[in-house]
Amino acid sequence: MWRQPKTVWSIAFACVISFMGIGLVDPILKPIADELGAGPSQVSLLFTSYLAVMGVAMLGTGWVSSRIGAKRTLLVGLVLIIVGSALAGSQDTVGGIVAFRALWGLGNALFIATALATIVNAASGSVKQAIILYEAALGVGIATGPLLGGWLGGISWRWPFYGVALLMAIAFIATLTTLPATPRAARPTSITAPLRALGHRGLLTVGITALLYNFGFFTLLAFTPFPLAMGAREIGLIFFGWGLLLAITSVFVAPVIQRRFGTLPGIVGALLGFAIILAIMAVGTDNKTVLIVGVVVSGAFLGINNTLITETVMKISPVERGVASAAYSFVRFSGGAVAPWLAGTLGEKSIHLPFWVGSAAVVLAVLVLLTARHLISALDAEPGHGAEPVGSRIEAEAVTVGDA
C-alpha cells in the first residue's frame, strides 16, 4: 500500500490539508471576535459563507470536471484554496475574512469532487489499497485541522490561514509536476442532473435529514468555543479529540454498527445520541467540563452517522453516485449554512439556547428520516445489512461526502 507513485502521495497530502478546512478555524473564532470587535453571529459567518458556496458549487463540480479533466479541476481547486486562505488571513474586517472564506469553499468543492477518483486511477496495486490510503489522509486531515489551527492560532489568528496557503502551495506544485494530463470525460455531466435527482423522495428526505442535523453539528463547531472561553491551543486540543473520534468511527466503527444493527437503526441511534449530548450541553453550558466531554464524545456519534447516512444517499437513489452525492451535498450544505449564523445569533441572547435548538433540530431530523423508513429498510435486506467493507469505493465516497 505504501509503495505508490508520487502522484498519489501528492494528492493524499493535499487531501490532508483540504479536510482540515472546517476544524481549522474553530480555535481562532474567539480570537478573531476579540481582536476585530465582532460577536459570535458575525464570526460564525466564516462557516456560513464556506458552506453555502461549497454546497452550491457541488452542483457544478461534475460539469466542470467532465469538461476540463480531473487534473485541471484539481489544480483550479487548489489555486482557489491558496488564494482564499492567504487573503482571508490578510483581512482586517470580519466581512473580508468571510468573503475569502467563501472562495476557499469553492476551491474545496472542486478539489474534493475529483480527489478520490484521481487517487484510485493513479495508484499502483489494488483499488482497496488506494482507498484505504485516501481514507487515512482524510482522517489525518479531520483530526489535525483543529490541532494546527490551535497551534498556529496561539501565535496569531492569521497564521492558520497562512499555514494552509503555504501547505496547499506545496501540494499544488507537487500535483502539477507529478500528475499526468487527464482527458475530458467521454460523456459530459449535465449541470442540472443533481437538481433533477432531488425529485426522488428517498434522496430528498435524507438530504433534509442532513440539513436538520447540521444545525446541531454546526452549533457544536461554530458556537462552543465562545462559552468555553479558552485559548486557541486549548480549543485546538479539544477539537482534535473530537476530530480523532469522528475519523475513527467514520471508517472503522460505522460499518460494524451497520452489519450488527442495520442502516436505519444505526443512523437513528447515532442521531439520538448526538441530540442527548447537545441537551446535556444545554443544561451544563456554564460547566466547561461538560462542554469539553460533550464535544469530544459527540465526534463518535457524528462519525457513525456521517458515513451511514451518506452511504444511504449513494444507494437509495437510482441516479449515478456522483450525481446523488452532489444533490445531497447541495441540500445539506446550502441549507445547513444557516446553522452557524443562527447558533451565534441565539447565543447572543442566551448561551444555553443554541444547544437546545440544535438538539431539537437533530430530533426533528430523526422524525423526518423515519418517513422514508420503508425505503431505507429495503437496503438492509442485502447481506450484512448492505454494509460496505473498509476499502470499498462506496464506503470511501460515503466517508468523503459525510465528513467534508
Look at residue 150 in the predicted model and tell me its pLDDT.
Answer: 94
- Kindly report the pTM of this predicted structure: 0.86
pLDDT at 15 over 90: no
Q: What is the mean pLDDT of residues 182-204?
A: 84
* 3-state SS, residue 343: helix
State how far the Cα of 291 lies from the Cα of 230, in Å rounded to an integer: 12
What's the first-to-final CA gap in the chain, in angstroms? 24
Residue 7 vs residues 21, 77, 165, 213: alpha-carbon distances, Å: 22, 16, 20, 36
pLDDT in tens, 277-294: 999 999 999 999 999 999
Mean pLDDT score of the chain, rounded to an integer?
A: 87
State how far the Cα of 115 lies from the Cα of 298, in Å rounded to an integer: 28
Q: How confident is the model at residue 384 (pLDDT cuts 50, 70, 90)?
A: low
pLDDT in tens, 351-361: 999 999 999 99
Chain centroid to CA 118: 19
User: Which amino acid would we find at residue 269?
Assistant: G
The C-alpha cell that represents 277 in the structure block: 449530548
pLDDT in tens, 198-213: 999 999 999 999 999 9
pLDDT at 239 over 50: yes
Maximum separation of any 2 CA atoms in the chain, in Å:
58
pLDDT in tens, 27-63: 999 999 999 999 999 999 999 999 999 999 988 888 8
The C-alpha cell that represents 168 in the structure block: 496547499
Helix axes 263-283, 201-223, angle to 10 degrees: 30
Burial class, 246, CB count within 10 angstroms (exposed 0-12 / middle 13-18 / buried 19+): buried
pLDDT at 145 over 80: yes
Chain centroid to CA 41: 21
Which CATH number describes the domain made up of 6-180+190-403? 1.20.1250.20
pLDDT at 217 over 50: yes
Look at residue 36 in the predicted model and tell me its pLDDT.
Answer: 94
pLDDT at 219 over 60: yes
Look at residue 402 in the predicted model and tell me its pLDDT.
Answer: 47
Q: How confident is the model at residue 125 (pLDDT cuts 50, 70, 90)?
A: low
Look at residue 179 in the predicted model and tell me its pLDDT.
Answer: 84
pLDDT in tens, 100-123: 999 999 999 998 878 877 877 777
pLDDT at 220 over 60: yes
pLDDT at 378 over 70: yes
Higher pLDDT, 380 or 309: 309
Residue appearing with cell numbers 435548538:
357
pLDDT at 336 over 60: yes
**Which of 237, 201, 252, 243 is CA-nearest to residue 391?**
252
State how far the Cα of 240 lies from the Cα of 373, in Å rounded to an integer: 34
Higher pLDDT, 139 or 330: 330
State how far the Cα of 403 lies from the Cα of 302, in Å rounded to an integer: 9
Q: Which residues contact 186 (CB under 8 A, 6 or more apart)?
A: none
Look at residue 294 in the predicted model and tell me its pLDDT.
Answer: 98
State how far the Cα of 85 lies from the Cα of 186, in Å rounded to an integer: 34
Look at residue 368 in the predicted model and tell me its pLDDT.
Answer: 97
**How many other CB atoms are found less than 10 A from the CB of residue 356?**
18
State how far the Cα of 72 lies from the Cα of 78, in Å rounded to an integer: 10
